[in-house]
Structure 1
Amino acid sequence: MITTQAACLAAALLLDARLGEPDLLWRRLPHPAVLMGRAVGWLDRSWNQGKAHRIKGVAALVLLVAGALALGAAIEALPLGWLWSTLGAAVLLAQKSLCEHVAAVAAALRQGLPEGRRAVAMIVGRDTSAMDAPAIARGAIESAAENLSDGIVAPAFWYLLLGLPGILAYKIVNTADSMIGYRTPRHEAFGWAAARFDDLLNLVPARLTALAITALWSLWGAGRDIVAEAGRHRSPNAGWPEAAASRALGIALSGPRSYDGRMRDYPFVNPAGRREIGAAEIEASVRLLWRVWGLLFGLSLLIALLGPALR
């Protein structure tokens, strides 16, 4: 089974890298991510009221995951199920679109600070109005590192293990976390399950992402520092790809930034790295994304080819 899924994953990675998010298609049909968002939004509006918010949030997440698993299994049971599974995985991977969004920040920053701020505001949640060039670059590169893990490696990991049901379940949880997994008065209780389960599903992929970067750039000597900084990061998972990517690129990441007008004094990741960075380093992070993609594709193809011989 994993041999077939590896072959489908390799094909899906190629399709996503080549086609990305074709406007011609998604102008006519709702993207699966949009449909997932609508489902999460409906449950939030309908169930996130009255009492027992945490219990209702757990029930909502169970319903979302069960629905995703059932839908994925039903699609794979169709005639030519492997084909629909491959196409579904290609749609749910985000390699090309991530690279395009990150590269757009570099191109905008080369035009000037106002353009760079506008572009980075499309991919980060922090305040951007007062960002200088290094802060814009750090924001773009941190987004690249984090989304490499949860937009590419994690979906590929869960697809390889569980096929289309696995990647659909992962994406619905990730969507729920992005919409309701916040410590706000409205969502702290209701979104608790989504946030915690998203952390759990990303636990292994985030560390695999760091391992992939470490292997590709031969960063074994920095392994202890990567582990230590990842453990100190405000996120249980995002620190792993950030710590590895910062060393692969020779730069410092994270550091102070503003959210909702309030400055947060976060420590730097790889504090000895270069801090005066800009468009060139953002472009280097895009090349990093493609190198990790190449490793994923190669490993998927290897599993697909060697699987029958290992039986």
Structure 2
Amino acid sequence: MTTAGMLAVALLLDAALGEPKWLWSRLTHPAVLMGKLVGVLDRKLNSGHNRRAKGVLAAAALVLAGFVAGKLLALPGTLVEILVAAVLIAQRSLTEHVAAVASGLRSSLDEGRAAVAMIVSRDTASMTAPQAARSAIESGAENMSDGVIAPAFWFLVAGLPGLIIYKMVNTADSMIGYRNERYQDFGWASARLDDLLNLIPARLTGLLIAAAGGQLRHWRAIAEDARKHRSPNAGWPEAAMARALNTSLAGPRSYDGQMRDFPWVHGTGAKSASAETITRSVALLWQAWALALALTVAIAAVF
């Protein structure tokens, strides 16, 4: 079976099964193992002088570990490759977490805040309902790229080694890629490598969401909005989602009790997002996933 064929099956398996609790309550999820490895490197290397050089060494170690793990896991053959890819692609769990915010908001604001706190790092205790809804939509769009399209892209390009290297680097970015005193230097290499690995997938995700939402004709405006985002990559899927929903995303938000004045993405859109807006965004995520699956099947058929 071709790599594209294996990817198509893995996408379908993830969509059907998601993250079975009965399985991961008994076994350690690979993402947890990756996080533990990043944690070990952080504890062992992130101290003293030359932290940027040590961070480069840590990033190189993660790439090497991902390459070796991918090669070893590919040895048993096609079935194992498909299963590993399905585990490391997270479409169903992503949409379930985003949809949970809509369900929470329909019950009460407190439940909506609790649900969105599970998927964002910003302060949630004093969020209004529209702020909680926008946060969930932004997280869904960004993680469609990080958790679905980018892993699928790197699997298609470089098989299991490519997929696992990507997940290693992305995990490191989420743990040490912060611009604060502790990680400004040590996390620099992992953050920049994550930016590089997401360069194509983020824009591809934006295209898929724009196509699903009938917004390809507004691609130039989407690109302009994407460049306003503080992230070089997250702005692309968020801008496409904002345009498809005609809803403003990003904008001011609070981290660690400090309000930060980030620019709006699609600032002329509605700012009164609701549970219904979240539900529409989840539908768009599935439509974009379906386009990605169709593209994968087409590649498999051609090659």
TM-score interval w.r.t. the shorter chain? over 0.9
Where 1:236 maps in the other structure, the secondary structure is: coil
Mapped partners of 1:216, 1:106: distance in 2 = 21
| Aligned pairs for 1:14-93 within 5 A | 14-78=12-76, 81-93=77-89
Mapped partners of 1:98, 1:214: distance in 2 = 19
- Over residues 174-206 of structure 1, what are the superposed CA-to-partner deviations in whole Å (9 max), with x where a residue is unaligned? 000011111111111111000000000000000
Mapped partners of 1:214, 1:196: distance in 2 = 26
Mapped partners of 1:274, 1:155: distance in 2 = 32
- CA RMSD in angstroms comes to 1.0
Mapped partners of 2:178, 2:278: distance in 1 = 28
Preserved CA contact (<8 Å) 2:150 2:202: yes
- Over residues 246-295 of structure 1, what are the superposed CA-to-partner deviations in whole Å (9 max), with x where a residue is unaligned? 11111111121111111112221111211112100001111011001111
- Over residues 111-147 of structure 1, what are the superposed CA-to-partner deviations in whole Å (9 max), with x where a residue is unaligned? 1111111111111111111111110110000000000
Mapped partners of 2:301, 2:166: distance in 1 = 26
Q: Tell me by how many angstroms 1:222 deviates.
A: 1.6
Amino acid in structure 2 at the alignment position of 1:88: V
- 2:274 corresponds to which of 273, 278, 281: 278
Q: Tell me by how many angstroms 1:217 deviates.
A: 2.7
- 1:97 corresponds to which of 93, 98, 122: 93
- 1:180 corresponds to which of 176, 184, 187: 176
State percent identity of aligned pairs.
58
Mapped partners of 1:265, 1:247: distance in 2 = 21
- 1:258 corresponds to which of 241, 254, 259: 254
Where 1:127 maps in the other structure, the secondary structure is: coil
**TM-score, scaled relative to structure 2:** 0.98
2:235 maps to 239
Mapped partners of 1:217, 1:289: distance in 2 = 10
2:118 maps to 122
1:163 maps to 159
Mapped partners of 2:160, 2:300: distance in 1 = 16
Unmatched tracts of structure 2, length 5 or more = none
- 2:210 corresponds to which of 197, 214, 233: 214
Amino acid in structure 2 at the alignment position of 1:184: N
1:144 maps to 140
Q: Tell me by how many angstroms 1:33 deviates.
A: 0.3
1:267 maps to 263
Mapped partners of 1:61, 1:105: distance in 2 = 34
Q: Tell me by how many angstroms 1:214 deviates.
A: 2.1
1:6 maps to 4
Q: Tell me by how many angstroms 1:215 deviates.
A: 2.3
Where 1:129 maps in the other structure, the secondary structure is: coil
Would you say how many aligned residue pairs link Structure 1 and Structure 2? 303
2:302 maps to 306
Mapped partners of 2:213, 2:180: distance in 1 = 39
